[in-house]
Amino acid sequence: MAAASSSSPSPPTPQPSSVERTKGPTSLEKLVLREARGWSAEVHLYGGQVTSWKNDHGDELLFVSSKAIFKPPKAIRGGIPICFPQFGTQGNLEKHGFARNRLWVIDDNPPPLPVNTAIKTFADLILKPSEEDLKIWPHSFEFRLRVALASGGDLILTSRIRNTNIDGRTFSFQFAYHTYLSVSDISEIRVEGLETLDYLDNLNEKERFTEQGDAIVFEAEVDKIYLDAPPKIAIIDHEKKRTYVLRKDGLPDTVVWNPWDKKSKNTQDLGDEEYKRMLCVEPAAVEKPITLKPGEEWKGRMELSAVPSSYCSGQLDPEKVLQD
């Protein structure tokens, strides 16, 4: 080991990126992704669910409840649950569909995605319906998920859903990345990029309104589906001097949700005060379900960045589109 030096410490030496298969405290299998500069992410095979995203200082950027139940068949409260093929209670299936409480498998031979030299750390999972699933939602599909860490730590989720029905039937589905962001204090958070948009208010019988004001701030429970939302949204945390930048492609809507105090106290797997440290901003396809004919494939992508604050959505180049 080198001798100690009185000079300021040098930055950590980049380590090779890696993906490790391991188990959590309740023996659920997960994959741990580590990027060369020190960023990391964890994805559980149960639910195909990302449950951790840490920056190069080890700060956790996703919220997971201290009361989260890591035991099937309960969905894991926090991280990035995947809502498919139903969002919320907008259908006959269990809330948010069944993808988030099924066991996914590692996809060893996925069809290729466009090459991106900035992405060297990724894991591929796949979900196919079981016989029981086909009884409640009688459609054959392949759902491929890639979870990736870019070289600068951005977290990228790419979903590809293919209709594999052999009887000629189309199917339609809703979808959301139910992203729980970790925040310092919900009352200090601003969301920019959704102003002036129409939204459906789930707390008001899904009535349609138009967002007023320069930004979204939080003073009470919020559960809104913003329609035709832009491809980039900023979530600004003044106290942590951090801004999350969310980019999306193939997902026209954006859901914003915080349960606030009363609903938190009535939610078994959420601490009474934990609503203060979380905000869900969810790229989604809710208002207009996606329809696939046999053999057709849909792709939906989300990229999350965490950057120093002072950033706002108005500084985004609106012409820049998502790159694969």
How far apart (Å, rounded) are the C-alpha atoms in residues 303 and 41?
Answer: 13
**Would you call the peptide bond into 85 cis, given omega within 30 degrees of 0 as the criterion?**
yes
Alpha helices per DSSP H over 9-162: 131-136
Q: Diameter of the chain by CA atoms?
A: 72
| Cα–Cα distances in angstroms (integers) from residue 50 to residues 24, 206, 232, 282, 300, in the given order | 13, 29, 21, 14, 16
How far apart (Å, rounded) are the C-alpha atoms in residues 294 and 168?
Answer: 6
264 with 270: CB under 8 angstroms?
A: yes
Helix (H) or strand (E) holding 265: helix 260-265
**Is 282 an annotated catalytic residue?**
yes
Catalytic residue among 42, 282, 287, 303: 282
Going by C-alpha positions, the residue among 256, 148, 151, 132 that lies closest to residue 193 is 256
How far apart (Å, rounded) are the C-alpha atoms in residues 19 and 35?
Answer: 9
User: What residues have CB less than 8 Å from 220, skipping those under 6 apart?
Assistant: 260
Give, as one character, the DSSP assignment of residue 76: P
**Would you call the peptide bond into 73 cis, given omega within 30 degrees of 0 as the criterion?**
yes
Catalytic residue among 42, 44, 178, 287: 178
Write out the catalytic residue numbers: 178, 282
